[in-house]
Structure 1
Amino acid sequence: MNRSHTLPLTAASAAAAAALLLSGCGGDGDDEGGGKDRIAGAETGSGAPSDSARADRSDAPKIDRPKMTLPRDVSLVFDQATTTGPDQTAAVNDARNFVRSIRYGIVEQNADDSAYKFYSELQSPAQSYARDQIKQRVDKGLSISGEMRFTRTKVSEAENKKSAVVSFCSDSSKLFSKEVKTEKVHHTEPSISDYYSWQVLMKPSKNTNGLWRAHKVQVKEKAGECR
């Protein structure tokens, strides 16, 4: 079976992509809103932050966030990120929530799930990307099973201080396609196709203090630097 479509980013343009994302940081409106069929793009259970992230956010505003409870056979694991200041911490945490919401939409088999809409700007490229990734799985009758790891997390602040690019690697060598009707898991051998490099442009919500939302996404497939 074919892999799910991702937004391609060639190795030569990887460095330029961050600059491109950061260059589009003007103010926008904000509203609520045969292998694995992988989506380029993590912590298990309800999607609660790790102990380190929880400590970083001890003084963060209370936000009524959507609950994302993943099944026991799906584990999304993030490394510890080094950030400077509450804005960077919030941008990283909500970038992770954005990619987590895509996984949640897949296991819920709902391309219109409210979680990814909460963590992406209304009608933004990131929101369209999330919906497309979920819908491709739903249309094929596929969910996921296994573990996906996210590492090498970095955050770059835009010059205007109003947005940030969160970058990280993902490893889905232990994440597999699972047929919804039969619950059959399609195990495959690890390969370079399991590795992706992500860059997510995050912007603070104008309506909810402390919430950051995804605006754009760039994904490089077969990212050897993430292996």
Structure 2
Amino acid sequence: MNRRPALLTTIAVTTALTLTACGSEEPDTAAKDSDKAKGTKASASSSSPSTSAGRPKIELPADLNLTFEGGETGDPVKDAILTDNAERMRAVDAAITGTDLEGKALAFYNTGKALKAAQDWVAQFEEAGATITGEARYYEREVTLKGEDSATLTFCADESKGFSKDKKTNEIHKTPVTKNSYVLYNTRLDKNADGVWQTSQIISNRGAAQCQP
């Protein structure tokens, strides 16, 4: 969600949008390239932007909204990477909120260590009896191609309006906005045989200076 929010404390999860939705999945290794991002134009949001053949349709609850900026670079390869990354982030949130209980989209857009990290992150919400609500904005999204089938992507997340919610009581656990509400993600994506850019590695740096407003 890497997301995103601070981690679970007993029954509640603090600011959790990510993984997304907002969340923080952190495998042992990750992409190491971190160039300054460009992004501008906003693309959105809660409904899946496209469901081309074979791709799972991702739906999020009405009380959860994700916005992705800078989705059109003019380079079709980079645009495809940005689109699949956005779907990846939405897939994590769909698994957390229960709109994808089987995690089909999660497995579709993740592989390797990133998949394991995402599954572990979702499991923590489940164990805590928590879900997520609110808004998350992803910006400063910068793609660096590493050959025909590999790339790195860095981006920032604004999780200041994302919160955890108790599944049973629907109580929203609001937290104050601090520097840690802003997260830098550093990811690696690899194109599989079906042409999907799957996230294979991901780390996050909460409170990163370059993501502060």
Shorter-chain TM-score above 0.5: yes
**Relative to structure 1, is the Cα distance of residues 81 and 179 closer, same or farther in structure 2, using a 3 angstrom cutoff?**
same
> What is the CA-CA distance between 1:45 and the residue it aligns to?
2.6
**2:81 alignment partner in structure 1:** 91
In the alignment, is residue 221 of structure 1 matched against residue 191 of structure 2?
A: no
In the alignment, is residue 202 of structure 1 matched against residue 192 of structure 2?
A: no
Pairs aligned (count) = 184
> What is the CA-CA distance between 1:109 and the residue it aligns to?
7.5
TM-score using structure 2 length = 0.77
> What is the CA-CA distance between 1:86 and the residue it aligns to?
1.7
**Relative to structure 1, is the Cα distance of residues 137 and 110 closer, same or farther in structure 2, using a 3 angstrom cutoff?**
farther
Alpha-carbon contact 1:105-1:111 (below 8 Å) kept: yes
> What is the CA-CA distance between 1:204 and the residue it aligns to?
1.1
TM-score using structure 1 length = 0.73
1:83 partner SS: coil
Any idea what the Cα deviations from partners look like across 1:103-145, whole Å, max 9, x if unmatched?
1111018675111101012xx0010011011111111001011
CA distance in 1, matches of 2:145, 2:24: 28
CA distance in 1, matches of 2:151, 2:24: 25
Alpha-carbon contact 2:60-2:99 (below 8 Å) kept: no
> What is the CA-CA distance between 1:215 and the residue it aligns to?
0.9
Aligned alpha-carbon RMSD (Å) = 2.6
**1:36 alignment partner in structure 2:** none
**2:32 alignment partner in structure 1:** 17
Residue 191 of structure 1 is aligned with which of 178, 184, 188? 178
CA distance in 2, matches of 1:5, 1:156: 22
Q: Which runs of 5+ in 2 are unaligned?
A: 1-7, 15-22, 35-42
**Relative to structure 1, is the Cα distance of residues 129 and 45 closer, same or farther in structure 2, using a 3 angstrom cutoff?**
same
CA distance in 2, matches of 1:178, 1:67: 24
CA distance in 1, matches of 2:189, 2:100: 24
Identity of aligned residues (%): 27
Alpha-carbon contact 1:111-1:132 (below 8 Å) kept: no
**1:114 alignment partner in structure 2:** 104
Q: Give the aligned residue type for 1:87.
A: V
**Relative to structure 1, is the Cα distance of residues 141 and 109 closer, same or farther in structure 2, using a 3 angstrom cutoff?**
farther
In the alignment, is residue 63 of structure 1 matched against residue 53 of structure 2?
A: yes
CA distance in 2, matches of 1:43, 1:101: 14
Q: Which runs of 5+ in 1 are unaligned?
A: 20-41, 50-60
Write out the 4+ residue segments of structure 1 that deviate beyond 3 Å after TM superposition.
1-6, 109-112
Any idea what the Cα deviations from partners look like across 1:196-225, whole Å, max 9, x if unmatched?
10122111111x13x211111121122122
2:207 partner SS: coil
Structure with greater Cα Rg: 1
1:92 partner SS: helix
CA distance in 2, matches of 1:88, 1:63: 20
CA distance in 1, matches of 2:105, 2:208: 27
**1:128 alignment partner in structure 2:** 116
**2:161 alignment partner in structure 1:** 174
CA distance in 2, matches of 1:161, 1:65: 21
**Relative to structure 1, is the Cα distance of residues 200 and 5 closer, same or farther in structure 2, using a 3 angstrom cutoff?**
closer
> What is the CA-CA distance between 1:173 and the residue it aligns to?
0.4
